[in-house]
Amino acid sequence: MRSPWRLALLAMLVLLGAGLGLALAEEPAPHAVAGAAPAVTGAAPAHGGHEGEAGSAAEEAEAEEPPELPNAIQLLYKGAGEHGQERPAWLTLLNRFKDLAYAVLVAVIIIVIVRIGTRKMALIPSGAQNVVEFFIEGFSDFILSILGPAGRPYVPFLGSLFLYIWFMNLIGLVPLMKSPTSALSTTAALAICVFLYVQWIGLRRLGPLKYFKHLAGDPQDAIGWGVAPLMFPLHVIGELARPVSLSLRLFGNILGEDVLIGIFAGLGVAVVGFLKLPLGIPLHLPFILLALLMSTVQALVFTLLSTVYIMQVLPHEEGEAGH
């Protein structure tokens, strides 16, 4: 089982690289980046107009952010430039890639938990080992009930994918933390990893010729070969649409949850100030409980769809056995 876990680790590295590339692609305009540091200086008399424009551009960029609960990196970044001083370059870079930073933090947390659970393996499990083995065995049985016995090599990847998405969804419910999956760059990177992994499985298990035959609709007779030129581009478009649908579904649901919690938390604070109450009103508490459920559902849906995509590129006898 060592090689599949190495493959899951490689997929994690590809994910981080894809997330970094997509975050770079989302880089704002140069004047907005330049104005982000001295945003407070826009309140000072603007002699040339460039500083005022840069400050207003930075304020507009911050105003366009969704009303989520503040996170530690965001507060640190705003606090560093509160009195007009220039922010450190490392802090500006950290704020720019905060979603990737929290994604790395989640990966470290998962590695530590698994390491603690497998540090002292015993024949009769207890404690952390019992929790880890319970999850691995339960998830493995669940995936194998879909893919069949031939799907055992893909359990480490799918298990790592589920855990990673689940923890990234849940970490946003922790105070001063942020869900990396509320950013499109993170969910797109996850979808790209699944897309590349599925195509690699298809090429490896079917071979190049059978793989392209699969994309052509697997024609078996003259009619099938006749419509193959039409089926091939449709299948290619369908394959390319999968990562788009995966990324947008996860991104939209998690961002919606975080925005909803942020709005009702702010409304609770406004009610306290308006009524002059001694204690706060946790109006967002019911939505946190709902987010706990929906975060799990979204991680499961993403993993299940990835499992189905893998099943569809397996050889017919293996796919039929799994089905």
pLDDT score at 19? 58
Going by C-alpha positions, the residue among 181, 175, 179 that lies closest to residue 282 is 175
Yes or no: say if 291 and 307 are a contact pair by the CB < 8 Å rule: no
Going by C-alpha positions, the residue among 236, 202, 232 that lies closest to residue 217 is 232
H helix or E strand, kind and range, residue 150 = none
pLDDT score at 13? 57
Going by C-alpha positions, the residue among 93, 113, 249 that lies closest to residue 181 is 249
Q: Residue 300 carries which DSSP code?
A: H
Q: What is the pTM of this model?
A: 0.79
Render pLDDT for 219-265 as a digit per residue (tens, 0 to 9): 888 887 888 888 888 889 999 999 999 999 999 999 999 999 989 88
3 state SS of 276: coil
Q: Please state, in angstroms and as integers, the Cα–Cα distance from residue 312 to each residue in 180, 214, 305, following that order.
A: 29, 10, 11
107 torsion bin: left (phi>0), alpha (psi -120 to 50), beta (else): alpha
Going by C-alpha positions, the residue among 315, 303, 72, 311 that lies closest to residue 178 is 72
Going by C-alpha positions, the residue among 235, 241, 243 that lies closest to residue 302 is 243
Alpha-carbon distance of 237 to 254, in angstroms, equals 26
What are the domain boundaries of the chain? 101-322
Residue stretches of the chain with pLDDT short of 70: 1-64, 126, 316-323
Q: Please state, in angstroms and as integers, the Cα–Cα distance from residue 308 to each residue in 151, 158, 185, 273, following that order.
A: 11, 11, 23, 51
- What is the token pair recorded at 251? 């991104």
Yes or no: say if 52 and 42 are a contact pair by the CB < 8 Å rule: yes
Phi, psi at 179, each rounded to 5° = -80, 115
Residues in the chain: 323
Yes or no: say if 258 and 66 are a contact pair by the CB < 8 Å rule: yes
Q: Please state, in angstroms and as integers, the Cα–Cα distance from residue 198 to each residue in 156, 193, 313, following that order.
A: 14, 9, 7
Q: 3-state DSSP helix/strand/coil percent for the chain, to nearest 5?
A: 80, 0, 20
pLDDT score at 2? 46
- What is the token pair recorded at 287? 């939505």
- 3-state SS track over 13-71: HHHHHHHHHHHHHCCCCHHHHHHHCCHHHHHCCCCCCHHHHHHHHHHHHHHCCCCCCCE
